[in-house]
Amino acid sequence: MTELNKEILYNPFKHAIKNHQLQLGLWMDSATAVMAEIAATAGYDWLLFDGEHGPNTVQNIYGQLQAIEPYHSHAIVRPLEGTRANIKQLLDLGAQTLLVPMVESGEQAENIYKSMCYAPKGYRGVGASVARAGRWNRLPDYMEYCQENLCLLVQVESRKGVENLDDIVKTPGVDGVFFGPADLSTDMGYLGNANAPEVMETMEYCVRRTTELGKAAGTIASDVNVAKTFIQWGATFVAIGADILLYNEALDHCLAQFRK
């Protein structure tokens, strides 16, 4: 049986954020392999396939992972929620970096990490040998070395999460913390105003505290100046756009050139 080299699993994103190298990303909600591949040719460091709010299904995500495989862009997948079942299935698809939403405690972060680990460290189900993760058993020792290239990003987006930030950041297995300005601002009483001064102060505290504790901090900002501000504060992985929003802007700009 032909065996593949385990270097195929190397996770450049994980090693980049560990070494404090800025990674610029793009949010993907279009749920098509064609759009994913087009985005991958642009050279973003990472593409986030959103299974929480977008219409992405397991099959859609599978096709998008395949579509961007030859390119520089690294795939990050956000599950609907951080359950063992969701995590197990996405890892078996071949996703190596997960962004898990709505994390509010160190205990929750620990359970998520354990869902990514095989026993005795955790309780990930065994099945990668018949899935893309283990390249259909052409990586026969997959279970022994896969963990070193799996990357866990947890998403803090509530006041409770901010209150428990230190415990979350210090949780073994957490590689980075992503701060969701939309949900956080709403929870703080600023519906639709993620750039409110109090929200921005909280975001600055979160980014600086996370990096101070030795973990990578990330967020999303479609406004150029806001994104640059996050980077100045020390954010290591930042989404600087979203495919649907960029598509809308391009459509409007094109039509506006011909209509008064």
CA-based R_g, the chain, Å: 18
Following DSSP, what letter does each residue of 130-188 receive, concatenated?
A: GSGGGTTTTSTTHHHHGGGG-EEEEEE-SHHHHHTHHHHHTSTT--EEEE-HHHHHHHT
Cα angle 228-232-233, degrees, rounded to a multiple of 5: 120
Residues in the chain, how many?
A: 260
Residue 75 makes CB contacts below 8 A (sequence gap 6+) with: 46, 47, 49, 64, 65, 68, 95, 96, 97
**Per the structure block, which two tokens stand in for 106?**
């160190």
Instruction: State the catalytic residue, choosing from 15, 20, 53, 72.
Output: 53
Q: Which helix (H) or strand (E) holds 137?
A: none
Active site residue 53: yes
Active-site residues: which are they? 53
